[in-house]
Amino acid sequence: MNQRENSIQIINHNFLHHSTFLQSQTAGMRAHHRDGVSWSDSGLNCDTFNILYITDHNTLSDASLQEVIDHYRQNDLAFCAWINEENLSPAIKSALERSGLQEAGSEPGMILELEAFQHTPAAADISKLNTRSGLQQFAHIVSLNWNPPDKDVARFYERVAETVLHPSSHIAYYASFIDNKPVSVVEVFPDNAYNAGIYSVCTLKEFRGRGIATDLMKFCLQQLKNAGYRTATLQAADDGLNIYKKLGFTASTRFYEFKP
C-alpha cells in the first residue's frame, strides 16, 4: 500500500465511524453495517445525522442500496448519501440516480501528519465543552449554519449526551471564548489511538475573519500531537480549505454527497 492509499484508508475509516458511532450507542437510534454500505438512523428528520455511506462499490448490490433508501423513505426521514471518488463508479452513480438521488456537492478528504506540525500557542481562551451545558453551547453554534437555525442539531446532541459524556467516549468538543461567550467550536473525533477526525468547525458570523477558528484548530492539533496521535483528518468545506492547507493538511481523496 502506497502513502496515498494509506491516507485514503485512514480518512475513510474515521468518516465511517463518525457517521455511525453516536447513533449505534444511543437508545432510540440505529446504525448498520453490511456489504458495501453503512448507514445511520438518528430518529430525527434531519439529513445531518441520517447518513448512508457507501464503503465498497465492489460488494454493494443495487438491492442492498435500495433497501437502505427505502428505510429512510418509509420512515419519512431526511437523509444524505456520501461516497468517495474511489467508490463512485458509473454503476453506483447510476444506481443512486435511479433511486432519485442527485449529486449535491463535494469536499476534499484531507490528512495532516502531526509529527511535522508546530504551533505557537495563541493568546486565546479555549476550553473543553464536555458537559451537558457545554454540548448545548456547541449545538447552538453549529445549528446557526442553517437559516433558520436547525433545531434538530440541539435535539440530536441532547439525545446523545449520555453517550458522549460516558467515560469510554474519547470524543472532545472545544470552544474559543470571548468575554466568557463561546464564539467558535470544533469536534475532535478519534477513531483509534493514532488518528482523530476534525468536524463541525463553526464560528459565529459576527466573529468570522479574525483567525479565531484557526487558533482553535491549532490548539486542538497540538493537543492531539501531545497525546501521541500521528494524523488528523477532515473534510474541507470551501470556506475553510485555504485555512486547512496553511495548517499543513493535504487532499488525498474527494467525497461526494447525494441527496433526494
Q: Domain check: are 42 and 169 in the same one?
A: no
Q: 195-218: per-residue pLDDT in tens? A: 999 999 999 999 999 999 999 999
Question: For residue 240, is pLDDT > 90?
Answer: no
DSSP E strand stretches across 129-230:
172-178, 181-190, 195-203
Which residue stretches of 145-211 are H helix? 151-159, 161-165
Residue 111 contacts residue 235 (beta carbons within 8 Å)? no
Look at residue 129 and tell me if it is in a domain: yes
Instruction: Give me the pLDDT at residue 75, please.
Output: 97
Question: For residue 1, is pLDDT > 80?
Answer: no
Q: Domain check: are 123 and 64 in the same one?
A: no
The pLDDT-based confidence of 41 (bands split at 50, 70, 90) is very high
Look at residue 258 and tell me if it is in a domain: no
Q: What is the mean pLDDT of residues 2-28?
A: 96
Reading phi first (left if > 0) and then psi (alpha if -120 to 50, else beta), residue 161 is in alpha
Distance CA 42, CA 9 (A): 26
Question: For residue 123, is pLDDT > 80?
Answer: no
Q: 241: domain range?
A: 114-253
Q: 45-64: per-residue pLDDT in tens? A: 999 999 999 999 999 999 99
Residue that is last in its domain, among 109, 138, 161: 109
Instruction: Give me the pLDDT at residue 241, please.
Output: 87
Residue that is last in its domain, among 66, 87, 109: 109
Q: Domain check: are 136 and 19 in the same one?
A: no
Q: Which pTM does this prediction carry?
A: 0.95
Q: Tell me, what CATH number does 154's domain have?
A: 3.40.630.30
Burial class (CB in 10 A: 0-12, 13-18, 19+), 89: middle
Q: 131-179: per-residue pLDDT in tens? A: 999 999 999 999 999 999 999 999 999 999 999 999 889 999 999 999 9
